[in-house]
Amino acid sequence: MPDTPDDHTDRPVTVRGRERHASDPARGLALDCVTAGIEAAHPDAVVADALSLDGDRLTVSDVDGEATTRDLDAYGRVVVVGAGNAAGHFAAAVEDLLGARIDDGAVVTDDPVETERIAVLPGDHPTPSEAGVESARRVREVAAGAGERDLVLALVTGGGSALLAAPGAGVSLDDLRETTDGLLASGAAIAEINAVRKHLSAVKGGGLARAAAPADALGLAVSDVTGDDPTVIASGPLSPDPTTYADALGVLDRHAVDVPDAVGDRLDRGAAGEVAETPKPGGPAFDGVAVRVVASAHTALDAARGVAAARGYEPLVLSSRVRGEAREAAKTHAAVAEECRVAGEPVEPPAVVLSAGEVTVTLGDDPGRGGPNGEFALSAAVELDAAGPAGEGVVVASVDTDGVDGATDVAGALVDGRLVGGGADRSDRDADDPLDREAAARALDAHDAYPALDEAGALLRTGPTGTNVNDLRAVVIAAPGARSEVSERRPPSGFGRD
């Protein structure tokens, strides 16, 4: 198939079983919107768009279009450090751009790639590991080895909080693991989780900036948090920390998270002033430090919007900051789709409603298997079934852009109004029978969406994608009575090849 303007990178996202998932144009478009968004946020595309080199002058353009320039010839050495799901691919792309100008470097990731000058070290996500602790120590050593005439380039991406695991004094790796697991299961927002992580770490919450001082540091961030706050991305290793030990204790109290004695003791002593606080705004650790967000959820949303418009659908970005319980957020998205379908508001079909952000799942005592995007998709399918004719012709794709939804082996799921209950005729799909309504409801109540969606053939498997700008959703609304008239153009070359 020939290339089209929808292509975004030479590293296309592969969706296993794409032909089965894309059994009609609306379903194919939903897939193409989310894959185009992921591809646009891949470090290869980001570095090509946001970084440029003119002689020895490095210019970085952030997501707001603001440019920052550094004269590399003015520095004695240039070293690269970093952490996150996309840090390996980011390091490789930066190495391709800067080449021999890089003198040393180390990043930690769970998606390794081959590099020549920057060591790509192993770690684990979402729960930290011993390998990640050793790798984080090496990253800190490289940063701390920079002198006052050197430049530290820090590549910070989603997943960095778990991967850059360097426990603070008195806290063990097992303590970190247990605390992380408890926070992830509690339904706490990422900013709350990171407030705790920062106060248990030697590198988070400005700790890496403190290690790199007095060198200049330029952070390049691929954001996976709503609002793109550098103090939250990867727990802000180069950013002043506005949170305190008391804030961390408040998070544990609000969400009733039980933590090991060593964690509680460190936080209590910190709140009492017996353990040094994380570096605060205006502190000397941040002299010569700047952080620029070079990709975010907006990067993915803009690419998805372009694909929808190119297919003749009216795109609408609902929000880049969707958060809260996945099940409830899905109900709102389904309601918006129904309103579009029936009343032509807030946008008239054929249309694609897009959103990003981070939804969560608050787990009970005996949770099943699944991730936030799977639960979102199953909840949306239940709502669309309940809507009757208003839910027909609606397709929902919900994915985590790193290719890993929660602790599962899938990116998310793709559903439509025919997945649950009887629905409309499903003879045009190579899929199993519809899910029983009661069974779907029980799966949601048990936070056990994965088996139900797997049985229905709705799970999307991409493997690691090389990036992470958090959740991305595409809700495709076909024009009433016009599904067969929608453009039959095939997806861009490379999309979804098995």
What span, in angstroms and rounded, lies between the C-alpha atoms of 470 and 38? 10
Say if residue 270's pLDDT is above 60: yes
In terms of domains, do 328 and 437 share one? yes
Torsion from C-alpha of 138, 141, 146, 152, nearest 10 degrees: 40
CA dihedral 245, 250, 255, 260 (to 10 degrees): 40
Helix (H) or strand (E) holding 118: none
Distance of CA 181 to the CA centre of its chain: 18
Q: Which two tokens stand for residue 387?
A: 């809507």
CA distance 496 to 396: 17
Can you tell me the mean pLDDT for 193-207?
93
Do 315 and 365 lie in a common domain? Answer: yes
Q: How does residue 422 score in pLDDT terms, banded at 50, 70 and 90? A: low
Residue 427 lies in a domain: yes
End-to-end CA distance of the chain, in Å?
Answer: 15
Collapsed DSSP state (helix, strand, coil) of residue 84: coil
290-312 in b/e form (b: 16+ CB < 10 A) is: ebbbbbbbbbbbbbbbbbbebbe
Provide, rounded to the nearest whole percent, the portion of the chain with pLDDT above 70: 92
Does residue 3 lie within any of the structural domains?
no
Locate tokens 């608050």: which residue? 362
Looking at residue 401, what is its pLDDT? 96
Indicate if 229 and 310 belong to the same structural domain. no
Token pair of 278 as six digits: 């994380």
pLDDT tens figures, 51-104: 999 999 999 999 999 999 999 999 999 999 999 999 999 999 999 999 999 999
Map residue 221 onto helix, strand or coil. Answer: strand
Residue 437: give its domain's CATH number. Answer: 3.40.1480.10
Question: The domain that contains 105 carries what CATH number?
Answer: 3.40.50.10180
pLDDT of 127 reads 83
Cβ neighbours around 3 below 10 Å, total? 9
DSSP SS3 for 248: helix
Q: How many CB atoms lie within 10 A of CB 470?
A: 26
The DSSP code for 344 is: -
What tens digit of pLDDT does each residue of 294-316 get? 999 999 999 999 999 999 999 99
On whether both 314 and 367 belong to a single domain, the answer is yes
Residue 340 lies in a domain: yes
Claim to verify: residue 238 and residue 362 sit in the same structural domain: no
* Bridge partners for 316 per DSSP: 353
Distance from C-alpha of 262 to C-alpha of 328, rounded to nearest angstrom: 36
Q: With cut-offs at 50, 70 and 90, classify the pLDDT of residue 291.
A: very high
pTM as predicted: 0.87
Q: How confident is the model at residue 479 (pLDDT cuts 50, 70, 90)?
A: confident
* Statement to judge: residues 31 and 78 lie in one domain: no
Q: Give domain status of residue 188, yes or no.
A: no
Mean pLDDT along residues 219-242 = 94
Q: Is the dihedral of CA 428, 498, 94, 284 positive or negative?
A: positive
**In this structure, what DSSP letter does residue 407 have?**
T
As for how many domains the chain has, the answer is 2
16 C-beta neighbours (distance < 10 Å), count: 16
| Residues whose CB is less than 8 angstroms from the CB of residue 331 and which lie 6 or more positions away in sequence, other chains included | 379, 380, 383
Clarify whether residues 314 and 437 are in a common domain.
yes
Let me know if residue 272 belongs to a domain: no
209-220 average pLDDT score: 97
Band of the pLDDT at 11, cuts 50, 70, 90? low
Residues 330 and 233 both lie in one domain: no
User: Mean per-residue pLDDT for 228-248?
Assistant: 94
Looking at the domain assignment, is residue 124 inside a domain? yes
Predicted confidence (pLDDT) per residue in 364-399, tens digit: 777 889 999 999 999 999 999 999 999 999 999 999
Q: What is the mean pLDDT of the chain?
A: 90
- State the residue range of the domain holding 455: 18-39+297-485
Residue written as tokens 């946001």? 50
Tell me: pLDDT of 431 over 60: no
Residues 288 and 388 in one domain: no
Residue 346 maps to a domain? yes
CA angle 247, 81, 189 (to 5 degrees): 30
Domain end, chosen from 295, 320, 338, is at 295
The pLDDT-based confidence of 8 (bands split at 50, 70, 90) is very low
pLDDT digit string (tens) for 244-262?
999 999 999 999 999 999 9
Same domain, 376 and 395: yes
Sheet containing 119-122, strands listed edge to edge, beginning at the edge strand earlier in sequence: 119-122, 104-109, 78-83, 151-157, 216-222, 289-295
Residue 34 and residue 90 in one domain? no
Give mean pLDDT, residues 347-355.
97
Whether the bond into 260 is cis, omega within 30 of 0: no
Is residue 62 a contact partner of residue 291, using CB atoms and an 8 Å limit?
no
Q: Which uninterrupted H or E stretch holds 101?
A: none
Quote the CA–CA distance of 46 and 450 in Å, as a whole number. 32
d(CA 178, CA 197) in angstroms, rounded, equals: 12
Please confirm whether the linkage preceding 350 is cis (ω < 30° from 0).
yes
Q: What whole-number distance in Å separates Cα of residue 261 and Cα of residue 245?
A: 15
Q: Do 429 and 338 reside in the same domain of the chain? A: yes
Let me know if residue 270 belongs to a domain.
no
Residue 191 — pLDDT band, cuts 50, 70, 90? confident
Q: What percent of the chain has a predicted confidence (pLDDT) above 90? A: 83
